Amino acid sequence: MGLAKQVDEWLIRQALGNPNLEELFHQLCLRLSGIGIPIARARLNWPTLHPLFRAEMIKWHRDQDTVLEHFHHQESNTEAWQRSPLRYMLEADLPVLRRRLTGPGKLLDFPLFEELAAEGYTDYIALSTEFSQPTTFMDMPKAGIFVIWASDRSSGFTDEDLGVLQAIQQTFALVSKTIIQSRITTNIVETYLGRQAGHSVLSGNIRLGDGATTRALVWYSDLRDSTRLTGSLESQAFLTLLNDYFECAARPAIRAGGEVLAFIGDAVLVVFPLEDATDVAALSVKVLEAVGESFRMRDEANAVRRERGVDTMDFGIGLNIGNVVFGNIGVPERLAFTVIGSTVTEVERIEKLTKTMELSVLASAEVAALLAERWDSVGVHALNGVERRMELFTPRLGSPCRAASPATT
């Protein structure tokens, strides 16, 4: 097993660094091919913990690019999965599944094997290694990796080939577990904190008071009539409405490059950091387009909600530019990474005026100045809790952002 030992030692060296799993698997396939293992096709499958995906897979083919694929939660019970040899391995608790695809010993007892045989593959082996890991994979309690190897050599894998593949499985599983758990940690942190805040936390900014001041465009949205809706709707119905609203109020901002820093009750706080290299004028165009898209999505969602006979929703959006502080607040045992400062206080108060002024969007003069031809002044106003009076602006009449309230459409 000298060949297996060489590969094992290489895998351990890789684990000591910060390897990318796709590249690691690609290099593993090349190294196995280099020592004479006749691999033509390989797969690495593992369950994950992610709000969008239930599992991930790396696909390798000889002389092709290595590809990472995701399996979404809604795909958990497809016909392909029901007829998959991996599902059979899970249910039967099999660590190894070997099939000859050609010759007198062939066994094509799954549709996949018929497809592989038709494509010219001659041999197949799947190896499963279980390890402890959080997962929602197929509603199965077990987690781990599946590694699938296929050959197109006429004689398939030799006993020595199979010995090497099985000998390196445990080491590769250990390396994979380290990488996968790191990916899951990143997924969870970014899901709950946002990409920039999550990166900051994972980089070591985890002490009370850690933070940095930066200039940013801030987007603040708040659901209207939430007190009545909370009191009149059952909990699940209100939760559904709230998520419909968040999709409208946050999704376009995220697509425009913003980061949701907080869902504050039924409000959304989004920031667009303005770095030195940021093209602020181009960003302001994207933000204004995202605001218009928010209200188009609102109208589409409300049309569906009316068809269902349930309450519609409305919201306002406030925009402001200024210095903000990204940082940890709270107590050492329970921190929240958020954004604070007078710019945030002002944008909250600006948004509140959208309701009393019967407008969907209001922005500070600093925001309007970036695209002066697209904004109209609505006068100077006092903001509750803000010392200075501020001139506010709304999108010019005819703009898609000059959205009317659903009650008036």
* pTM to 2 decimal places: 0.68
DSSP code of residue 205: -
194, exposed or middle or buried, with CB in 10 Å at 0-12, 13-18, 19+?
buried
Contact 344, 324 (CB under 8 A): yes
pLDDT in tens, the chain (409 residues): 578 888 999 999 988 888 899 999 999 999 999 999 999 999 999 888 777 778 899 999 998 999 999 887 666 667 787 889 998 998 888 999 999 999 988 999 999 999 999 999 999 999 999 887 655 544 444 678 999 999 999 999 999 999 999 999 999 999 999 898 888 887 777 666 666 666 666 666 666 666 678 889 999 999 998 888 888 889 899 999 999 999 999 999 999 999 887 777 788 999 998 887 778 889 999 999 999 999 999 999 999 999 999 999 999 999 999 988 877 777 777 766 777 889 999 999 999 999 999 999 999 999 999 999 999 999 999 888 888 899 999 998 766 665 555 543 3
Q: Name every residue whose Cβ is closer than 8 Å to that of residue 101 and which is 6 or more positions away in sequence.
A: 108, 113, 116, 117, 121, 122, 123, 124, 156
Could you tell me which of 178, 97, 90 has the C-alpha nearest to residue 139?
90
- Cα 302–304–305 angle (5° rounding)? 60
Give the C-alpha distances (Å, rounded to integers) separating 268 from 211, 245, 265, 313, 314.
21, 10, 8, 15, 13
The full set of domains in the chain, from first to last, is 2-190 (3.30.450.40), 194-408 (3.30.70.1230)
Could you tell me which of 108, 101, 106 has the C-alpha nearest to residue 124?
101
